[in-house]
Amino acid sequence: MAHPFRSPLRRLSGAIAVLACLAPLHAFATLGGDEASIEADRVAMSGTAGTPAPAAAYTVKTFTLPSTTVIREYLGASGVVFAVAWEGPAMPDLKQLLGNTHFDAVDSGARSRNREGRRGPMELRPADASGMVFDSTGHMRAFAGRAYLTPQLPAGVDTDAIR
């Protein structure tokens, strides 16, 4: 009788498990991603899709999280998500919405503010090539914020419309 751990099927299963562990955990593109990334965000955060709202130079895709936080992702005519915004009783998964690179910039900024003992709304302005602007405010059960990429803004879009 063959040893059970030496069967070809078990070896294949083991190899697949190892490869799955080596694969990236977050394969979603979000801020700066494409239209498919919006659906990936919605699914990853168990959101309920809303009706897309087309504007002149972009489309706003909305979904609501189980916490009732509303997420809006702004898709330019070029097919790039140039902005995200949120409002509701709970903070969304910013790593999911912003993607690893942009999230790391926000996380670094938040850590710096904490070391300085600063409180209140958090604002980050472009300090790198990505040109990301991040604004977040709120308190328990009332959070709002937005992030957008200034180089990706469609011509004529007023940033005050990103809410």
Q: Kind and range of the H or E element at 157?
A: none
**For 95-154, what is each residue's pLDDT tens digit?**
999 999 899 999 998 888 888 888 888 988 876 667 999 999 999 999 999 999 999 999
Q: Is residue 72 helix, strand or coil?
A: strand
> Is-contact 133 145, C-beta < 8 A?
no
- Picking from 50, 26, 49, 28, the residue whose alpha carbon sits closest to that of residue 37 is 28
What is the model's pTM? 0.78
> Is-contact 91 138, C-beta < 8 A?
yes
Q: Is residue 91 helix, strand or coil?
A: coil
Tokens standing for 69? 């936080």
Sketch the domain layout of the chain as residue ranges: 26-161
pLDDT at 72: 97
pLDDT (average), residues 13-37: 54
> Is-contact 83 148, C-beta < 8 A?
yes
Taken in order 62, 63, 64, 69, the sign of the CA dihedral is negative
pLDDT at 20: 35
pLDDT (average), residues 56-72: 95
